Amino acid sequence: MKKIFFLFIVIISINLVNAQSAQKWSLKMCVDYAMKNNISVRQADIQARIAALQLQQAKLYQYPNASFSTGISPQFGRTIDRTTNSFSNTAILSQNIALQGNIDIYSWGKLKNNIAAMQFNAKAALADIEKAANDVALSVATYYLQILAANQQIDIAKVQIIQTKNNLDATRKRVDAGALPELNALEFESQLAVDSNNLVLSQTNYNQSLLAMKGVLNLDASLPFDVEIPDVSSIPLEPLGDLQPEVVYSLALDNQPSIKANKYRILGSEKNLLASKASLYPSIAGSYYLGTNYTNKAQEITNTSLKPAVIGNVNVGGTNYDVYTQYTAYEFGNTKYFKQLSTNFGQSLGLNITVPIFNNGTNRINYEQSKLSLQNAKVNESQIEQKLKLDIYTAHSNATNALQKFNASKKQVDVAKKTYDIANKRHEVGLLNTLDLITNQNNLLKATSQNLADQYDYVFKMKLLEFYKGQGLKL
C-alpha cells in the first residue's frame, strides 16, 4: 500500500512539472522571475542586506556597551591574598567577577551623523536593487523581442516553402504535359531546398534566442521553455510625439534608480564628512565597573567565648595569689562563596575626556578622504545625468530612424508583393522564365523579413523610450 501511495505521489509530481513546463511564459512572467532569480539582482539584494546590518550596527553604537568577565586562578608561593591584602605563603584559589562598559556622552554628533550616513547608504543599496532589476528587465525584453522576431521568421520561411511547393507542383504538371522544359521544375526544386535551409536557420535562431533568455532568467538550459507569441502589430506604443527627449529626461531624473542611488550616496558622503570631522575634536565618554572576588582562604569569625587568663599575682599575708581577667576567644572558619561575593562587591563610575593630539595623522587623513569621497559622488552625479541624457536623446533619435526605416520597408514589401504577383501571372502564361519568378519571390521574402526586423526594432526602441519615461516594460 505504501509503494502504491508513493508511486501515486511521484506521478502527480511529474504531471505538475510537465504542466508547468508546458506553460508559455509571458513577458511579465519572464521579468518577474528574472527579478527574483537573476544573479545580478540577487547580488544587489545581498549588498542591500549588508547595508541594512551596517545601519543597525551604527544605531547600536548609541547604547552603553557591556562586557562580563570572570576568571579562576590558583596561586602558589608567596603571594597576596586579595581578600585580606596580606602576603601568604600557602596556595590560594581565587576568582574575579566583573561587569564593565562605557558609553559615548558627547562626540560632536559623530554617532548621529554616522547613523544618517548609514541610512542613506541603505537607501542607495535599495535603489541599486531597483537598478539591477531594471537592467535585467531590459535584457529580458530584448531577448523576448528577439524570440518573437525569430518566431515570425519561421512563419515567413514556412509560407515561402508552401509557395515554392505550389509553384513546383504547378510547374511539374506543365512539364509532364510537355508545355515547359524540365529545367523549370529543377529550378523550383533548387529553390525549395534553399527555402528549407532558411527554415532550419530560422528554427536554429529561435532556439538560440530561447537559450539566451534562459541565461538571463538563470534557468536550467535542459528545462523545457517557450514564450507567448503576441501579435507584434497589437503591441501598444505611445506616439513618438509624446516621447520628446527633454520631457523624457526630466521624468527620468525622478524615476531612474541610478539617479536616486547616487543622490543618496551624496547625502551619505556629506554625513560621513561630518562624522570624520568630529574625530578631530575632544570627546567625552562615561564608564562603569561592577566587580567582586572570592578566595578559598578567606575566613570569618564563627564563634566567640569568654575565657580566664592570668595577668599577674599578689601576696596577701605571705601567700601568693594569681590575678585573673577575662578575654574574648574567637573561632574562625572559611567564608562561604556567595557571602564573599556580596561582601567584596564594589562599584565605580568614570568620566573620560579624550583629546586627540597625534595619532599618525589618521583622523586628519580620514577627514580629507571623506572630502574627496563627497567630491567623487558629485562628479559621478554629473556623469550619470550626462550619460542618461545622452542615452535618452540617442534612444529618441534611434526610434525616429527606426520608424522611418519601418515605413520605408513596409512600402518596399508592398512594391515587392505587387511585382511578384505580376511576375507570377506572367509566368503562368509563359511570358516570364522560372528563374526570374524565383528572383521576384526571393525579393519578396527579403523585403518581408527586413520589414519584420524593422518593425521589431522600432517596437523595442519605442519601449526603451517608454522605459526611460518611467512606464516600465509591457507588451
Grade residue 16 by pLDDT with cuts at 50, 70 and 90: very low
Q: How many domains does the chain have?
A: 2
Read off the CATH number of the domain in which 373 is found. Answer: 1.20.1600.10
% of the chain residues with pLDDT over 70: 93
Is 195 in the same domain as 327? no
Residue 456 has pLDDT above 70, yes or no: yes
pLDDT digits (tens, 9 = 90+) for 326-335: 878 888 888 8
Domain contains 84: no
What pLDDT, on the 0 to 100 scale, is given for residue 394? 93
Average pLDDT over residues 279-308: 89
Q: Are residues 257 and 328 in the same domain?
A: no
378 and 329 share a domain?
Answer: no
Q: Are residues 321 and 453 in the same domain?
A: no
Residue 14 belongs to a domain = no
* In-domain check, residue 112: no
pLDDT 10s digits, 96-117:
999 999 999 999 999 999 999 9
381 and 457 share one domain: yes
Residue 6: what pLDDT?
Answer: 37
Does residue 162 fall inside a structural domain? yes
Residue-wise pLDDT for 193-217, tens only, equals 998 998 999 999 999 999 999 988 8
Higher pLDDT, 5 or 15: 15
139 shares a domain with 35: yes
pLDDT, average across residues 253-257: 90
Q: What is the mean pLDDT of residues 230-241?
A: 81
In angstroms, rounded to a whole number, what is the distance separating the alpha carbons of residues 468 and 388?
A: 9
How confident is the model at residue 1, as a pLDDT?
Answer: 39
Domain that holds residue 433: 23-62+120-281+360-469
Q: Of 334, 350, 378, which residue sits at a domain end?
A: 334
- 312 and 422 together in one domain: no
* 3-class SS letters over the chain: CHHHHHHHHHHHHHHHHHHHHHCCECHHHHHHHHHHHCHHHHHHHHHHHHHHHHHHHHHHCCCCCCEEEEEEEEECCCEEECCCCEEECCCEEEEEEEEEEEEEEECCCHHHHHHHHHHHHHHHHHHHHHHHHHHHHHHHHHHHHHHHHHHHHHHHHHHHHHHHHHHHHHHHHHHHCCCCCHHHHHHHHHHHHHHHHHHHHHHHHHHHHHHHHHHHHCCCCCCCCCECCCCHHHCCCCCHHHCCHHHHHHHHHHHCHHHHHHHHHHHHHHHHHHHHHHCCCCEEEEEEEEEEEEECCCEEEEEEEEEEEEEEEEEECCEEEEEEEEEEEEEEEECCHHHHHHHCCEEEEEEEEECCCCCCCHHHHHHHHHHHHHHHHHHHHHHHHHHHHHHHHHHHHHHHHHHHHHHHHHHHHHHHHHHHHHHHHHHHCCCCCHHHHHHHHHHHHHHHHHHHHHHHHHHHHHHHHHHHHCCCCCC
> Of the segments 235-244, 251-260, 423-432, which one has the largest average pLDDT value?
251-260
pLDDT tops 50 at residue 391: yes
Is 374 inside a domain boundary?
yes
Q: What is the pLDDT of residue 13?
A: 38
Give yes or no: residues 439 and 391 share one domain: yes
Question: With a threshold of 0.85, does the pTM exceed it?
Answer: no
Judgement on whether residues 433 and 318 belong to the same structural domain of the protein: no
**Domain for residue 396, yes or no?**
yes
Select the more confidently predicted residue: 413 or 307.
Answer: 413
Does residue 136 carry a pLDDT above 50?
Answer: yes
Q: Is the pLDDT of residue 41 over 70?
A: yes
pLDDT band at 475 (very low <50, low <70, confident <90, very high): low
The pLDDT of 444-462, averaged and rounded, is 86
Q: How confident is the model at residue 2 (pLDDT cuts 50, 70, 90)?
A: very low
As a whole number, mean pLDDT of residues 336-356 equals 92
Interval 129-147 mean pLDDT = 87
Residue range 89-98, pLDDT digits in tens: 778 888 999 9
Mean confidence (pLDDT) of the chain = 86
Whether the pLDDT of residue 14 is over 50: the answer is no
**Is residue 22 scored above 80 in pLDDT?**
no
- Comparing 50-54, 233-237, 449-453, which segment has the lowest mean pLDDT? 233-237
The predicted model gives 260-285 an average pLDDT of 95
Based on the domain organization, do 186 and 319 belong to the same domain? Answer: no
Please indicate, yes or no, whether residues 224 and 318 belong to a single structural domain of this protein: no
**Same domain (yes/no): 321, 391:** no
Residue 170 C-alpha cell reads as: 504547378
Q: Is the dihedral of CA 102, 107, 109, 114 positive or negative?
A: negative
Task: From residue 339, give the alpha-carbon distance in Å to each of 84, 93, 94, 205, 344.
Answer: 15, 16, 14, 86, 8
Instruction: Indicate whether 466 pLDDT > 50.
Output: yes
- How is residue 14 written as a grid cell? 511529474
Residue pair 373/269 in contact (Cβ under 8 Å)? The answer is: yes
Residue 115 lies in a domain: no
Q: Is the pLDDT of residue 223 over 60?
A: yes
State the average pLDDT over residues 388-397.
93
Q: Is residue 264 part of a domain?
A: yes
Q: What residue type is 175 in one-letter code?
A: V
Q: Of the given ranges (263-272, 294-303, 341-350), which has the lowest mean pLDDT?
A: 294-303
pLDDT classification of 15: cutoffs 50, 70, 90: very low
